[in-house]
Amino acid sequence: MYLHFEKPSMDTKEKNKHNSRRHLLIRSGLTAATIPLLPLSCKKVMDGEEKDQDPKSFEFAFLTDIHIKPELNAPIGFQMAIDMVNTMKPDFVLTGGVLYMMQCGEIRPNASLFFFLYTNMSAGFQMPVHNCIGNHDLFGIYEESPESDSHPDYKYGMWERYFGKTYYSFDHKGWHFITLNSLDVTEDKRYARIFHKEQLMWLKNGLRNVERSTPIVITTHIPMICTYTQLNGGNGNRTVNNALEVFKILEHHNLKLVLQGHIHWKEFGYVNDRFHFLTGGSIAGNGWKGRRHNTKEGFVRVKVTGQDFSWDYIDHSWEAKRHSTEAQKNS
């Protein structure tokens, strides 16, 4: 069942803010990324059910693998997801990494353009956004990259300039949320799937101030646990190499959920009555060209009530829009 939400009227201040955001995109040369301003239809969490009135209940959205770039109408698709999230009015948004689509030899002006595009568009969310770093969000780390490791934006530098630390935590209505950085750089200049030692020490020290009964949610880009290779084969390089160390640190805490991205794959599991894991598909699908692993482009909505949660996967309608756009080009 789908419900249609009419766009609410905006006062003059909101209109000016809305128009200013579009104007900045156009001035930056992104005229191909024209942003649709009307919200779309969206699906309810549960038909006929209103949001729980319990003051401790809340909802949040998890959007991963956005891969924003000016081409392939990516800004149109991302705006569709933003509009849909806004109609649902969650308390906040978590992202699961790869906000941008930087390539191996990307130069700094191009990388800055991606950061500008994402930060400008994500300002359209009507609730706080907590970002997670992904492998394509690292700057200048590859052998093909023209910048050296002495560049101030190298690796995490550009991310930290825009967003601050690559790992952090916050509390919301009795739940503790931890965003981890699952990436480093190998000696042969590729990305490494690892939680580095400084971060592990930070996590261990920070949890000393968290009651063991407090529900905890972890967000990571590279999965900590994943079924992909069991079902599809491959070399198994889909998970964080030292995820076990994080699980050990959390062993006596109330870990409820691990949210993860990277695979563009949707899966949900419950490990030995201990915790759930959820790999959240992707906003971009196969780089805005269609589905990847036959997973529809979309995001996860999580509803929390007390110590429990439920979730559903929201198709933000990009597939239908893409087919419609392609049909118009070919007509």
Q: What is the pLDDT of residue 95?
A: 98
Residues in the chain where the model's pLDDT stays below 50: 1-10, 12-13, 15, 18, 22-49
CA distances 306 to 58, 172, 246, 272, 291, Å, are: 9, 12, 25, 21, 35
Report whether 139 contacts 147 (CB < 8 A): yes
- Residue 95 in tokens: 């992202």
Query: Is the domain covering 58-330 a CATH 3.60.21.10 domain?
Result: yes
Domain boundaries, the chain: 58-330
Interval 2-51: pLDDT, tens: 333 333 344 544 545 545 554 444 344 343 333 333 333 233 344 444 55
Q: What is the pLDDT of residue 248?
A: 98
Report whether 259 contacts 62 (CB < 8 A): yes
Distance in Å from the first CA to the final CA of the chain: 31
CA pair distance 36, 85, nearest whole angstrom: 15
At residue 285, φ and ψ (nearest 5 deg) are: 60, -130
Strand partners, 218: 178, 258
Report whether 63 contacts 283 (CB < 8 A): yes
H or E, element range at 45: none
Instruction: Using the structure block, give the residue that is written with the tokens 């401790």.
Output: 56
pTM: 0.83
Q: What is the pLDDT of residue 10?
A: 47
Report whether 18 contacts 37 (CB < 8 A): yes
Q: What is the pLDDT of residue 43?
A: 35
Q: What is the pLDDT of residue 4?
A: 36
CA pair distance 32, 51, nearest whole angstrom: 38
Q: What is the pLDDT of residue 11?
A: 52
Q: What is the pLDDT of residue 83?
A: 98
Q: What is the DSSP string of 103-165?
A: -TT--HHHHHHHHHHHHHHHTT-SS-EE----GGG-BS-STT-SS-TTSTTTBTHHHHHHH--
- Residue 244 in tokens: 């076990």
